[in-house]
Amino acid sequence: MTENQGPRDEWPLYEVFVRGKRGLNHVHVGSLHAADDEMAVRHARDVYTRRNEGVSIWVVRADAITASSPDEKDPLFAPNGDKVYRHPTFYAIPANVPHM
Amino acid sequence: MNEFHQTPSHSAPDPSHEDGSVYDGLLGTDSSQWAFGTDFEDPLAGVDTTVPDGVDHRMLAAYCLALADDALVFSHRLSEWCSNAPDLEEDIALANIALDLLGQARLLLARAAAADPDVVPVLPEGSPVPAEDALAFFREADEFRNVRFVEVPNGDFAHTVARVLLFATARLAVLDRLTGSRDAVLAAVAAKGVKELTYHRDYAGRWFLTLARGTEESRRRLVAALDQLWPLYPEMLATHPVEAAAAEAGVGVDPATVAAETDVVLEQVLAMSGVDRPQRASLAGVDGRTGRDGLHTEALSRMLAEMQVVARAHPMGQW
């Protein structure tokens, strides 16, 4: 906790990932403020699983995430834009194969 | 203002509409396409709702009212935090706790009405108001059976943290025993409540420790709040004749029998937080009557006036 400095400093920002009942992986659902990691999990439970969505929660401090820069968009992603053969679109997927 | 009377850009979903609505998919039995769950459980699904043999219906109803009113009144006090909590996240956390308690109250009020329809206030003929709503919104303060602990006005956030901790600790111990009730409905309500109250106690316990070990100011406020609540606390763990009778019949729990284990939990939190047990005598009743007898502080009437005003203005209203 911070010392008394008049108005409180903001708590650090956390990003929240929830794995749904039938979800295979944790999905980013939003962000929140919390004083520490434990409080972030509890806040995430209260804010993002109110509608019976979740079975597991991950939280990570937003400043611990390294993101790609919008400036790098072309070199990073444009080269894959014309390689349609990388998609499984040239054969039929059996109806009983889930999660494609 | 005019714009509020214009036709909304999209109409509210009408479940009876022949073309169906966008929500139809949510209501189907196959919800496997949804990554996030849609299946909500009815806590009373498959539960035997007959009153067990040899149990006095009026006593069972009175016992349910006591349990229900504790939850209902405290739920309302917590909901008064809505939009006023120190943080958006805490605001939602308190609202969640309030809604959990409201859910418990609703099931318990419905059980009281089913056990003894005479407890339900009489509304104009043809009123669609269900029995549990009639009990919540059309009783006077002296008909409420909650302990006074839950009705006193909110103070600061520390006051609410201390109150949630004391309330959840005592009620969790009671409901934990109540899961063995001979009354299947009470047992089911208790089983649902135990999970909820475990979280409430955890939430309040963490904040209690944080405030106690935080700044000088947070500690001062917490200690003051605990001191203020302490005289009201023993009422929650005292035996009322209705609770004694319910325990005797095997449907209820005498709170005095869980006082010791409640105290052990509380002592752990106090010790870890380095907070001394307040030395305050318990608030006396009037002629031996307390909240469970319908003897309340003035604060309850004021709270109910606000809580009940809309429902009372529309006794024929459909909600």
End-to-end Cα, chain B, rounded Å: 25
User: What is the pLDDT, as a whole number, of residue B3?
Assistant: 41
Q: Which residues of A touch B35 (CB under 8 A)?
A: 20-23, 27
| B63 assigned to some structural domain | yes
* Distance (Å) of CA A47 to CA A53, B96, B178, B241, B307: 11, 9, 30, 41, 25
On whether any CB of chain B is under 8 Å from the CB of A12, the answer is: no
Q: Residue A42: its chain B contacts at CB < 8 A?
A: 93, 202-203, 206
Q: How far is B96 from chain A (nearest CA, A)?
A: 7
Which tokens sit at A31?
């962000």
Q: Which residues of chain A have a CB within 8 Å of the CB of B38? A: 52
Of B295, B279, B309, B277, the residue nearest B240 (C-alpha): B295
- The answer to whether position B255 is within a domain reads yes
pLDDT at B179 over 70: yes
Mean pLDDT for the stretch of residues A85-97: 77
pLDDT value, residue B121 = 95
Residue A95 has pLDDT above 90, yes or no: no
Distance CA B319, CA B314 (A): 10
pLDDT at A82: 82
Mean pLDDT of chain B: 89
Going by pLDDT thresholds of 50, 70 and 90, the confidence category of residue B277 is very high
Domain that holds residue B71: 57-313
Whether the pLDDT of residue B14 is over 80: the answer is no
What percent of chain B is modeled with pLDDT above 70?
Answer: 87
CATH number for the domain spanning B276: value is: 1.20.1260.10
Q: Domain boundaries in chain A? A: 13-86
Nearest-by-Cβ selection for A22 from B32, B210, B214? B32
- Which pLDDT band, with edges at 50, 70 and 90, does B4 fall under? very low
Residue A76: enclosing H or E segment and its boundaries? helix A73-77
Q: For position B110, what pLDDT does the model report? A: 95
Give the gap in angstroms from C-alpha A85 to the nearest C-alpha of chain B. Answer: 28
- The band of B13, judged by pLDDT with boundaries at 50, 70 and 90, is very low
Which residues of chain B lie closer than 8 angstroms to A99, CB-CB?
A: none
Asked if the C-beta of A47 comes within 8 angstroms of chain B's C-beta atoms, the answer is: yes
pLDDT interval class at B284 (50, 70, 90): confident
Give the per-residue pLDDT at B7: 43
pLDDT at B32: 54
Cα–Cα distances in Å, from A9 out to A13, B93, B154, B157, B203?
Answer: 12, 21, 26, 18, 22
Tens digits of per-residue pLDDT, B31-62? 555 545 555 677 888 888 889 989 999 999 99
What's the pLDDT tens digit per position in A22-42?
A: 777 899 999 999 999 999 999
B182 within a domain of the structure (yes/no): yes
Query: CA-to-CA distance for B28 and B260, rounded, in angstroms?
Result: 48
Residue B317's pLDDT band (boundaries 50, 70, 90)?
A: confident
The reply to whether residue B89 touches residue A33, judged by beta carbons under 8 angstroms, is: yes
Q: Which residues of B touch A38 (CB under 8 A)?
A: 206
Q: B94 in a domain, yes or no?
A: yes
- Point out the least confidently predicted range of B4-8, B89-93, B188-192, B241-245: B4-8
How far does CA B206 lie from the centroid of its chain? Answer: 21
A55-82, pLDDT tens digit by residue? 899 999 999 999 998 888 888 888 887 8
- Residue A100: pLDDT band (50, 70, 90) is low
CATH class of A13-86: alpha beta
**Interface residue of B89, B90, B102, B196 to substitute, partner A, most A CBs within 10 Å:** B89
HSE-CB of A93 using CA atoms within 13 angstroms: 9
Within 8 A by CB and 6+ apart from B282, the residues are B231, B232, B233, B234, B235
Check residue A77 and give its pLDDT.
Answer: 85
Pick from B37, B88, B214: CB nearest A53? B37
Task: Specify if B31 maps to a domain.
Answer: no
* Residues B92-147: tens digit of each pLDDT: 999 999 999 999 999 999 999 999 999 999 999 999 999 999 999 999 999 999 99
Mean pLDDT within B71-97 = 96
Q: How many domains does chain B have?
A: 1
At residue B38, the pLDDT reads 54
Please tell me the pTM assigned to this model.
Answer: 0.84
Report the residue from A11, A38, A46 with minimal CB separation from B96: A46
Between residues A55 and B172, which one has the greater pLDDT? B172
Query: Would you call B37 an interface residue with chain A, using a CB distance cutoff of 8 Å?
Result: yes
A&B contacts, CB < 8 Å: 55
* Cβ pair B95, A47 in contact under 8 A: no
Q: Does B215 touch chain A (CB under 8 A)?
A: yes
Residue of B nearest to A42 (CA): B203
Look at residue B158 in the predicted model and tell me its pLDDT.
98
In this structure, of B2-11, B16-25, B101-110, B241-250, the range with the lowest mean pLDDT score is B2-11
Q: Would an 8 Å CB–CB cutoff place A52 in contact with chain B?
A: yes
Q: Does A87 touch chain B (CB under 8 A)?
A: no
Least confident of A55-69, B8-22, B65-79, B255-269: B8-22
The confidence score (pLDDT) of residue A2 equals: 45
Query: Who wins on pLDDT, A95 or B219?
Result: B219
In a domain, B194, yes or no: yes
Is A11 within 8 Å of B215 when comparing Cβ atoms? Answer: no
Percentage of chain B beyond pLDDT 90 is: 77
CB contact at 8 A, A36 and B214: no
Backbone angles phi and psi of B286, in degrees to 5: -115, 120
Q: Which of B23, B32, B33, B36 to mutate to test the interface with A (most CBs of A within 10 A)?
A: B36
